[in-house]
Structure 1
Amino acid sequence: MKNKADLKKITCLGAGYVGGPTMAVMADRCNSIEITIVDLNQSKVDLWNSEDLSNLPVFEPGLASIIKKVRGKNLFFSSDIQKAISEADIIFISVNTPTKTSGYGAGFASDLKWVESSARTIANFATGHTIVVEKSTVPVKTAEVIKTILNYNQNYDAKKSFSILSNPEFLAEGTAINDLENPDRVLIGGNDSDAIESLSLIYEHWVSKEKIIKTNLWSSELSKLAANAFLAQRISSINAIGAICESTGANVREVKLAIGSDKRIGERFLNAGPGFGGSCFQKDLLNMVYLSKYYGLNEVANYWEQVLILNNWQKSRISKLVVDKLFGTLNGKKIAILGFAFKANTNDTRESSAIKITKELLTEGAEIVIHDPKVTKDQIKKDLEKNEGKDPKQKESNSFWWFSKDYEEIFKNSDAIIILTEWEEYKTLNWKFYTNLMRKPSWIFDSRSIVNPKEMKNLGIKLWRIGDGTLD
């Protein structure tokens, strides 16, 4: 094995939401290490290499400035996978692991085809000793799959050898750069102490040793699933409390302040909203359910599944509430959706509450106009898969949607505004001007606690605010 200090080249398989930001920060903090991010999607690679830094495949505050600083110096984007693997001392696997849609475990288990494909590609093209690092969010025991594939090939080529590590990411989209630069912890799991130390030394360029936790492979893999399961549980819990608040006259923001002041609970992840989204929470909860059932722990599976049931219910109850408040029908009514990303400061729409809510409102015959500062019209079209257009005469059904960046067009003759993403620009809108363009009676459905209830009341706007039982 190479001396730990001699590890000079890193390759990352996957140029997505994890691979791009993670390797950018690593390149920025480790100037002596050359990092290459490879991806099969040439158009994605081209975007990463584009001079237009406003059009990167991933939007994260602070990411573009880091890319500008390190790209072409010690950070490179390429589709030449063979070359990048053959030259690498360490390879990070950062590919997609979606939930299976068919076959055994469909709806719960992760589809590991890209992880397996990555392992086979590494086995074919790696040279000498290579440290292979799981970076993707994966089910427990995935490292065994990688290890089996690599060891089989190692047995047929004495010049190759591999060490397998688990190094899960703990990033929150929208704050990923800060999470990478100032992590709560870095987790490295494995059975090869030299490989663990090699990876640890890379992180020690900017992370203190005290924050680097070293475990076995299986503890590392499970820790990632457990962390996301706990966070998702908190969101479903506060949304459940919010629903009770609306029925009893309590205010969920006041309840949050009271319970969040308890040091044993804390205030993080206690904001009521339209339900959690993103690439990890639902997928990891489904993995927990599948894993629990696999080992015969049905009561444990039922516990974690309930977190998901509550989250889906939260999305549907908002849709139903909109219909109920608008006299039981949305036919011929214009509804504006503000925010399509699953949270602010990202262009990621995966599992976004806006997708489910918009689809449900379309089934009610609504005319929907959608706005988001970072999500593109093409992405929304992929997510909704139907009924795009402005002219109802050209549609087979009365319901349709379109995308707009023009607030006057959005608000004009709208019957209701639904705030689904907590973008900062929504907080500073000239609500007095724009709400005056709406058709009366006008409704604001605020699922992110952005608008001022007193201001809306003074403007004559009917308001529903999540978790607020004090409103008329």
Structure 2
Amino acid sequence: MSVIGCGYLGAVHAAAMASIGHDVVGIDVDERKVAALADGVAPFFEPQLGELLQEGLASGRLRFSTDMSDAAGSDIHFLAVGTPQIVGGHAADLRFVDAAMSALLAHLRPGDVVAGKSTVPVGTAERLASQMAGSGATLVWNPEFLREGWAVHDTLTPDRLVVGVPSGPDGERAADLLREAYRPALEAGTPFLITDLATAELVKGAANAFLATKISFINAMAEIAEAAGADVTLLADAIGHDGRIGRRYLGSGIGFGGGCLPKDIRAFAARAEELGRGEAVGFLREVDSINLRRRDRAVRLVVDALGGLVFGRRIAVLGAAFKPFSDDIRDSPALDVAVRLRGLGADVVVTDPAALANAEAAHPQLGYAAERDDALRDADAVVIVTEWDLYRRDLTPEHAGSLVAGRIVIDGRNCLDAAAWRAAGWKYHGMGRR
């Protein structure tokens, strides 16, 4: 099989498929990325990926190339290129998808299967399938559901596999080929859902829209809890016991970020507008607004805790990645808060166990510390914005108190034991917590 596009999705997919016994070639136009992958070096931080790359390369089942002709002869071609938000708008930018398909067409054989994994607006697969007419190959859509930090796990042991296929014998044959590709997961009991192309495209967007809505819902409740003097964490515990609701992803705080969820819900809404059904997902605009408002609230908590005197104050920001177990800083709430505080004149020092180099390259105006304790030393306030274990579990109020000048902690993820920090003499401020 070939994997076209070796970014976050493609590199993980290629290494994981090789690890279960397939012969895989990963193809990307970025020469530096391909050279790193060919040396067994992951171009981004993702647990277990480095080991899988090295094992795959050593076995001979995995290789990487910048030449699309190396995809020729593969039975399945996974299309895994990025679909960023279009500059100046909310819709998905499909240039990379179209370029990859155009380059691949010349190397397709009758009977080949092209399996789209990229997150695309509904209707894209039908358009791409028309471009493939006459090649004898079949297009299917096989959306990904990866969580950064858990991508290898989610590829090898997914909670479901969705494959959208065209009707008729070609679709049935393509579905059988995908069953063979994912045999270990299916033997372990993973559900394998066959749909039409349009439904498969919608599944990813709908899943992200629901997840974003659930997160923003509890953050909206946090706003009410603050005004009423309630505790949103206890509220989430109580409603989470309802089997219809569930407790997962009901953690309130500073909100979501990253390279997928924000841009995907905006693209989903933009496509609904194009289809003349924008009113059906109008709520997603408020979901987005609530999410961004949480960053404003985090900054306001810092300002208020310092008595409105922010200029020249040293503030330690714990976290740069948008989530733990990742070095991804795209639309990171942590860096957004840090930049806003710097804009108010604060002396901001950011630390992160994985994303520091990326953060420094993107925001050189901020201060940085490679070690957590160096960031904490002499700080007037501490803001926890990425819930790495290094901050939420391994940092005690007593140890932090030996370093921090002002005992103020802003818990942007509601991940600390508020009672313990307050008992140690800290001014603890959570996001909707008492």
Quickly name the TM-score band, shorter chain normalised.
over 0.9
- Cα offset for 1:446? 0.7
CA–CA distance in structure 2, aligned partners of residues 366 and 87 of structure 1: 58
Contact 1:419 1:445 in 2 (8 A): yes
SS class of match (1:71): helix
Question: How many residue pairs align between the two structures?
Answer: 428
Pick aligned residue for 2:139 from 164, 167, 184: 164
CA distance in 2, matches of 1:332, 1:281: 35
Q: Which of 352-361 and 166-175 deviates more? A: 352-361
Q: 1:36 aligns with which of 19, 25, 33?
A: 25
Alignment of 1:283-432 (within 5 A): 283-377=263-357, 379-384=358-363, 386-387=364-365, 401-426=366-391, 427-432=393-398
Secondary structure (helix, strand or coil) at the match of 2:24 reads: strand
What is the match of residue 174 of structure 1?
Answer: 149
Unmatched 5+ stretches in structure 2: none
The aligned residue for residue 35 of structure 2 is: 46
Which one of the candidate residues 90, 94, 99 is aligned to 2:85?
99
Q: Deviations over 1:103-128 (max 9, x none)?
A: xxx2x110000000001001133344
Q: Distance in 2 between matches of 1:417 and 1:445?
A: 6
Tell me the distance in 1 between the aligned counterparts of 2:291 and 2:9: 24
TM-score (norm 1): 0.86
Question: Per the alignment, in what secondary structure is the counterpart of residue 206 of structure 1?
Answer: helix
* DSSP 3-state at the match of 1:12: strand
What are the equivalent positions in structure 2 for 1:4-83 lying under 5 Å apart? 10-29=1-20, 31=21, 33-50=22-39, 56-83=42-69
Question: TM-score, length-normalised on structure 2?
Answer: 0.93
Question: Residue 390 of structure 1 corresponds to which residue in structure 2?
Answer: none
Counterpart for residue 5 of structure 1: none
Shift of 1:49: 2.9
Q: Secondary structure at 1:121's aligned position in 2?
A: helix
Cα offset, 1:72, TM superposition: 3.4
Deviation at 1:18, TM superposition (A): 1.1
Deviation sequence 1:187-229 (CA, Å, 0-9, x none): 0001122112211221123324761000000000001100010
Q: 2:161 aligns with which of 165, 169, 186?
A: 186
Task: Supply the AA of the counterpart residue of 2:148.
Answer: E
Q: How does 1:255-266 map to 2 (within 5 A)?
A: 255-266=235-246
Partner amino acid, structure 1, of 2:185? W
Partner of 1:214: 194
Distance 2:362 2:206 in 1: 28
Instruction: Single out whichever of 79-88 and 282-291 deviates more from structure 2.
Output: 79-88
User: In the alignment, is the contact (CA less than 8 A) between 2:25 and 2:63 conserved in 1?
Assistant: yes
Match of 2:420 among 446, 455, 468: 455
Give the C-alpha shift of residue 279 in structure 1: 1.9
Q: Tell me the alpha carbon deviations over residues 311-334 of structure 1, each in whole angstroms, 9 at most, x when there is no partner.
A: 111111111221222122321111
Q: Could you list the runs of 5+ residues in structure 1 that have no partner in the other structure?
A: 1-9, 155-159, 388-400
Range moving further from structure 2, 167-176 or 196-205: 196-205
Q: 2:37 touches 2:64 (CA, 8 Å); kept in 1? A: no
Instruction: Decide which moves more: 235-244 or 220-229.
Output: 235-244
State whether residues 139 and 287 of structure 1, in contact with CA within 8 Å, keep that contact through their aligned partners in structure 2: yes
In the alignment, structure 1 residue 201 sits paired with structure 2 residue 180: yes
1:272 counterpart SS class: coil
Q: Is the 8 A contact 1:27 1:34 kept in 2?
A: yes
4+ runs deviating over 4 angstroms = none
Aligned to 1:391: none
Work out the CA distance in 1 between the residues paired with 2:212 and 2:222.
15
The aligned counterpart of 1:396 is none
